[in-house]
Structure 1
Amino acid sequence: MIAEHDVRENENLLAAVMDLNEELAEQQRALARANRQLAAEKAEQQRLLQELATAQAHLVQSAQLVSLGQLAAGVAHEINNPISFVRANVATLGGYVGDLLAIIDAYAAGEALLAQDPSLLARIHRLRERCDLDFVRGDAVAVVAESAAGIARVARIVSDLKNFARINESEWQVADLHACLESTLNVASHELRGSAEVVRQYGPLPALHCCPGQLNQVFMNLLLNAIQSLEGAGNGPGRIFLRTGRQDDQGWIEIEDNGRGIGPERLPRIFEPFYTTRAIGAGTGLGLSSAWGIINAHGGRIEVRTEVGKGSTFRIWLPLSRTTSE
């Protein structure tokens, strides 16, 4: 009886062990499935991160294209004005040259006979008076100088536009941020004209190793944002302050306006992509988010101080660890 009891007990123990083994095996299979699922989820996360990085790059590029598109009409206007008076001056100069040639021809025809033909001499004098030779001589110099100045202005606008876009310079390089600011101001001059007085308060700021074209885009976005903030602000003449300086191993660029300011309910969202309070079609909501992404890629940050009804100040901080000393 005892032996039979022991056999049954051993059989029960064996069955329990087998059940336990089966349970363990099932847990191992479940763990393996969970690991496979986790690996798949990790791969999916990597794919999504890659897509996010690609989308961010496209967002920055799209924001630049949008900003350039907004400025295209202004740049065309800036180029068209000097070209117009160059064209008009060249036409005037052509008329002057024709008159001068007529006088010269008259002198050449009568040079040997002036002493013997008083009528020819009188005709030459009348022609000289009709063409107002003395005035033409003076005005021709002024016209040529004005034409040269117009052409120089066109060249400067084109040069500043190239410096702003830096289409062929995508690599990091040493750049003077004051020069970048000035190029951006020149490109945005049409937007600024009649909207705001620009007050420069530049401090010491060493050349920085950066992507100048991208920083130009940040400056442009913040400038356009300041100009838009001035619309209907009611704070008197619009003013935009540009300040620069350094603090320890950080350089900073500040753009301040006396516009409408940003309400506390909007402030947390201003750097979100596609967030805008402007009318449909009047803004994309990409400018500030693009600026944030570019400055973050440079190892910097953007701080905002604002007060409704008084204006806003955007300060860009950039590390100076990469400078001309490297």
Structure 2
Amino acid sequence: MMQNRTVPLSQALIDEESARAHLLQSEKLASIGQLAAGVAHEINNPVGYVFSNLSTLAGYVQELIKLIDAIDSAASLDDLKQFKQSTDYAYIRSDVQDLIGESEEGIERVKSIITALKDFSHIEEDAFTYADIHRGIETTLNLVNNEIKYKADVVKAFAELPKVECLPSQINQVVLNLLTNAAHAMGPRGTIYLRTGYEGEHVWFEVEDTGKGIAAEQLPHLFEPFYTTKPVGEGTGLGLSLSYSIVVKHSGDIQVFSEPGAGSRFRVWLPVHQCVRPQEVSE
């Protein structure tokens, strides 16, 4: 009798774990969709003004070509000077330098976003490697800039850290979830503090916001699947659950400090070395 009940129970646990894995994967895909929208906006801005600058530069080039051609046909130096003045050469010369400089800045911005996206999205990585936590934070911050810049100022206080044995893209996912949660917790505008530290054989990073805070009775449930403090329709309740699974996979821990009206602080602890390979968890 006992054996007959054990088999269905085991299958139920397998089904529950499979469903949980699918839900966490859905949360990852939702994050990617959110990132895609933000990245598209961040890229469109510099591409837009680079395109506009190229159009203006094309007109300037035509004017300068006319000026060069006039050298051959000018009857006198006075005629050439008069033609030069008619093309507003002084203004064109000055503006060309500004347009080129602005366009170079725009292209560099696009390059930095693409580099950050490549660093962030090593989706298939499954081997632990030593990585720079600060680079991961900066990469993720670069990608969610559109989500944050209208809601909060970002203040960074980074300590000197050793490289950490981890799955970098998964740690980036944790940073992404914490940053977006912090941005969503804001009122009209606030501040997000990013800090790092190193104690013993562990490093930590934390995200603190000056938002609305979390009630004491909600704190024990934050990492439960489907639990969310956001209004209905504004959160899946899987972001922190996914983050917790990733941190546990890294033999780490997440601490939460929050009071209503006083903001929230999430601190993630990670061992520098994975002495014993942690058990695989669903991704």
Aligned residue identity for 1:291: S
1:319 aligned onto 2:271: yes
**Could you tell me how far apart the structure 2 residues matched to 1:160 and 1:88 are?**
25
1:95 to partner: Cα distance: 0.6
Secondary structure class of the residue paired with 2:185: helix
Larger CA Rg, structure 1 vs 2: 1
1:122 to partner: Cα distance: 4.1
1:131 to partner: Cα distance: 1.5
1:322 to partner: Cα distance: 3.3
Q: For residues 111-157 of structure 1, give each alpha carbon's deviation from its aligned partner in whole angstroms, at most 9, with x where no partner exists.
A: xxxxxx34xx4443232112111222222122112111111110111
Match of 2:45 among 81, 94, 104: 81
Change (3 A) 1:170 1:144: farther
1:281 to partner: Cα distance: 2.7
CA contact (8 A) 2:140 2:176 kept: yes
Match of 1:207 among 145, 151, 163: 163
Structure 2 partner of 1:191 = 147
1:177 aligned onto 2:142: no
Change (3 A) 1:50 1:109: farther
Structure 1 partner of 2:69 = 105
Match of 2:90 among 122, 134, 138: 134
* Matches for 1:235-274 after TM superposition, within 5 Å: 238-274=190-226
Secondary structure class of the residue paired with 1:230: coil
Match of 2:187 among 220, 231, 240: 231
Q: For residues 190-216 of structure 1, give each alpha carbon's deviation from its aligned partner in whole angstroms, at most 9, with x where no partner exists.
A: 111121111111113211111111111
CA contact (8 A) 1:197 1:238 kept: yes
Change (3 A) 1:322 1:297: closer
CA contact (8 A) 2:251 2:274 kept: no
1:95 aligned onto 2:51: no
Aligned residue identity for 1:305: F
**Could you tell me how far apart the structure 1 residues matched to 2:160 and 2:23 are?**
33
Gapped runs of 5+ residues in structure 2?
A: 276-283
1:46 to partner: Cα distance: 4.1
TM-score (norm 2): 0.90
Q: For residues 251-279 of structure 1, give each alpha carbon's deviation from its aligned partner in whole angstroms, at most 9, with x where no partner exists.
A: 11111111111002211211111112323
CA contact (8 A) 2:254 2:269 kept: yes
Aligned residue identity for 1:103: L
CA contact (8 A) 2:131 2:164 kept: yes
1:82 to partner: Cα distance: 0.2
How high is the sequence identity, in percent, across the aligned residues? 43
Aligned residue identity for 2:226: F
**Could you tell me how far apart the structure 1 residues matched to 2:236 and 2:29 are?**
11
Higher mean alpha-carbon deviation, 84-93 vs 238-247, is at: 238-247
CA contact (8 A) 1:170 1:213 kept: no
Structure 2 partner of 1:288 = 240
Secondary structure class of the residue paired with 2:93: helix
**Could you tell me how far apart the structure 1 residues matched to 2:82 and 2:232 are?**
67
Secondary structure class of the residue paired with 1:272: coil
* Matches for 1:115-154 after TM superposition, within 5 Å: 117-118=75-76, 121-154=77-110
1:85 to partner: Cα distance: 0.5
CA contact (8 A) 1:157 1:186 kept: yes
**Could you tell me how far apart the structure 2 residues matched to 1:50 and 1:212 are?**
28
* Structure 1 runs of 4+ with >6 Å offset: none
Change (3 A) 1:188 1:107: same
Q: Larger RCO: Structure 1 or Structure 2 (Cα < 8 Å, ≥ 6 residues apart)?
A: 2
1:308 aligned onto 2:264: no
Gapped runs of 5+ residues in structure 1?
A: 1-33, 111-116
Aligned residue identity for 2:259: E
1:227 to partner: Cα distance: 0.9
Structure 1 partner of 2:23 = 59
Change (3 A) 1:143 1:104: same
CA contact (8 A) 1:200 1:242 kept: yes
What RMSD in Å do the two structures reach over aligned CA positions? 1.9
**Could you tell me how far apart the structure 2 residues matched to 1:168 and 1:124 are?**
65
**Could you tell me how far apart the structure 1 residues matched to 2:66 and 2:30 are?**
54
1:319 to partner: Cα distance: 1.4
Q: For residues 32-78 of structure 1, give each alpha carbon's deviation from its aligned partner in whole angstroms, at most 9, with x where no partner exists.
A: xx3xx42x544444434443443343333222211222233221111
**Could you tell me how far apart the structure 1 residues matched to 2:31 and 2:187 are?**
18
